Amino acid sequence: MMLSILPLIMFSVLASVPQFDVQLVDGSRVSGSLLRWDAAQLVVENSTGRSTLDADKLASVTSQSPPANSAARPAVWVDLVDGSQLAAAEYTVEKGRAKIAFSASEVLEVPTAEIDAVRFQPDSEATALEWSRIRGKKIRGDVLVTGNANAIDYHEGAVEDVNEMKARFTLSGQAQALGVKRAKIFGLIYFHATAASAPECLYTIVDSAGSRWAAASLKLSADKMEFTSPSGRTTTRGLDQIVKIDLSCGKIVYVSDLKPDSETFTPCPFTVTGKELTSRLDFSRVRRDQNLESKSLRIHGQVYRKGLALRSRSELAWTLPGKFSHLEAMAGIDDDVRPLGNVRMQILGDGKTLLDTSIGGNEKDPKNDPRPISLDVSGVRRLVLIVESQGNFGTGDHLDLGNLRLLK
C-alpha cells in the first residue's frame, strides 16, 4: 500500500515546486525546476532528468505559472540610479535617507543619492509623455512635479524631507522651504551632479509585485533567490515570487540597436537629381525594427519585433562593440510585397565573405523560402552587409532580417 502511494506523494511534491522555462542565447530551451545555480552553472531538473547549463549561455529564466500580482496595488513607483524600478507601498525621506516600504515587514533604506525619480500617482495617457519629457530635461536641481492624471507641471529647486502627508521643497532662488501636500505631488526627480556608474552588464529580476531589480550577481539558495545590487545591497525573493530573470544583457546585441559606421543606398541609374533624389534617398533608407512600409517586420506569417528592413542597392557597415561568436537572423522578403522581390545578400567579416546567397519572394521556387542565418563571427571586428537587386529594377526588393542579432 505504501509503495503505491509513494509515487503520488512524489508527484505532488514535484508539482508544488515552481517550474521555469530557461532560454539560452542560442535560442534553445530547457524547462523544469531550478535545482542549483551559481556563477558557473544552472542545474535544471524535470521528468527526463537533470540538465547542467553554462551560466554564461543563459538568456532568460521565466516562470511557467507567473505568480499573481500582489493584492495590494503599489502606491509609489521608485526608479533607482542603477536601473531598478520598484513598485512600493510608501516612500519617505529624512535627512537624506530614503525609506522605500514594500510591506510592514520589508523596508529598503537607501541614500537619496541612489534615487533617480519617484512617482506618487499612476501614469495616464495624458501624463506619460509629459513625465518622460520632464525626466529627459537637463536640470540644475531637484524637480517637483505637481498635478494629477489630467495634467502635470514642474518646478526646480531642492527636495528635502518627505513624509506621508507632505514634502518639503525649496524653489530655486528662494530661501525658505515650502510644505507641499503629497496629494498635489505627481512625482519627484532628483538631481545628481555626477552620473552614477553601473556595471557594464546587469541581471534584471521581475517579481510578482511589479518591481524590476537590477542585480550584479545572484544566487539560488533552497527555494529562494538572493540577488545583489550594483552597490552591494542584497535582496531575497522566494522562487514563487519570481516572474522572470533576464540575463541577456551583453550576451545578445540586436544589430538594429547599433549605430552603423556607414549606411549607403544607390538609386537606380535613371533616378533624377535634386529634391526628388533627396526624397527617394530618405524613402529608401534602412528601417530599424519595422518594415519598409513602417509596419511590423513579417516573414512568412511570423512577426519580428527586432530586425532590419532594406531595399536592394543598400550597404551598411559596423564596428562590432566587443567579441561575439555568432550572427543570427531569419532572412526573407517581407510578406507585404510577396511574390515580388529578388535580392542577393552578402555578409562580410573583416573583408572575408561569410555569406553570399539569393533570396526571393516567389514561393513557387523552394530556393526562395525564408531561411535562418547562423554565421561564425569569432574574431570579427568589422561587419558589412550588402543587398543587391537581381532583376526587375528592384521592384519588391524588400529584404527583412528578423531578429538580426550578435551572440556572445
Give 66-112 pLDDT, tens digit per residue.
776 655 678 999 999 988 999 999 999 999 999 999 999 999 999 99
Amino acid identity at 246: D
Q: What is the pLDDT of residue 245?
A: 94
What fold is seen in the domain 18-65+215-249?
SH3 type barrels. (2.30.30)
Q: Tell me which of 274 and 220 has the higher pLDDT.
A: 220
Chain mean pLDDT for the chain: 85
Question: Mean of the pLDDT values across residues 251-260?
Answer: 87
Q: What is the pLDDT of residue 1?
A: 45
**Among the ranges 12-21, 24-33, 43-52, 295-304, which has the highest mean pLDDT value?**
43-52
**Among the ranges 107-116, 193-202, 223-232, which has the highest mean pLDDT value?**
107-116
Confidence label for 375 from pLDDT (cuts 50, 70 and 90): very high
Q: Tell me which of 221 and 6 has the higher pLDDT.
A: 221
> Would you report the helix, strand and coil content of the chain in percent, each value rounded to 5?
15, 50, 40
Q: What is the pLDDT of residue 367?
A: 65
Name the CATH code of domain 253-407 (choices 1.10.600.10, 3.30.420.40, 2.60.120.1060, 2.60.40.10). 2.60.120.1060
The C-alpha cell that represents 315 in the structure block: 550597404
Question: Mean of the pLDDT values across residues 377-403?
Answer: 84
Question: Mean of the pLDDT values across residues 200-229?
Answer: 88
Note the pTM of the prediction, 2 decimals: 0.69
Ranges of CATH 2.60.120.1060 domains, the chain: 253-407
Q: How far apart are CA 219 and CA 23, in angstroms?
A: 18
Q: Tell me which of 248 and 146 has the higher pLDDT.
A: 146
Give 148-189 pLDDT, tens digit per residue.
888 999 999 999 999 999 999 999 989 899 999 999 999 999
Q: What is the pLDDT of residue 6?
A: 46
How many Cα atoms within 13 Å fall on the side-chain side of residue 373?
27
Residues in Cβ contact with 78 at an 8 Å cutoff, skipping those fewer than 6 apart: 85, 86, 88, 91, 98, 100, 115, 117, 118, 119
> Residue for cell digits 511534491?
13
Q: Which of 366, 365, 370, 368 is nearest to 300 (CA)?
A: 370
Q: Which of 115, 119, 110, 113 is nearest to 88 (CA)?
A: 119
Q: How far apart are CA 165 and CA 50, in angstroms?
A: 54
Confidence label for 226 from pLDDT (cuts 50, 70 and 90): very high
Q: What is the pLDDT of residue 384?
A: 94
pLDDT at 390 over 90: no
pLDDT at 201 over 80: no
Q: What is the pLDDT of residue 8?
A: 46
Ranges of CATH 2.30.30 domains, the chain: 18-65+215-249
Enclosing H/E stretch for 254: strand 252-254
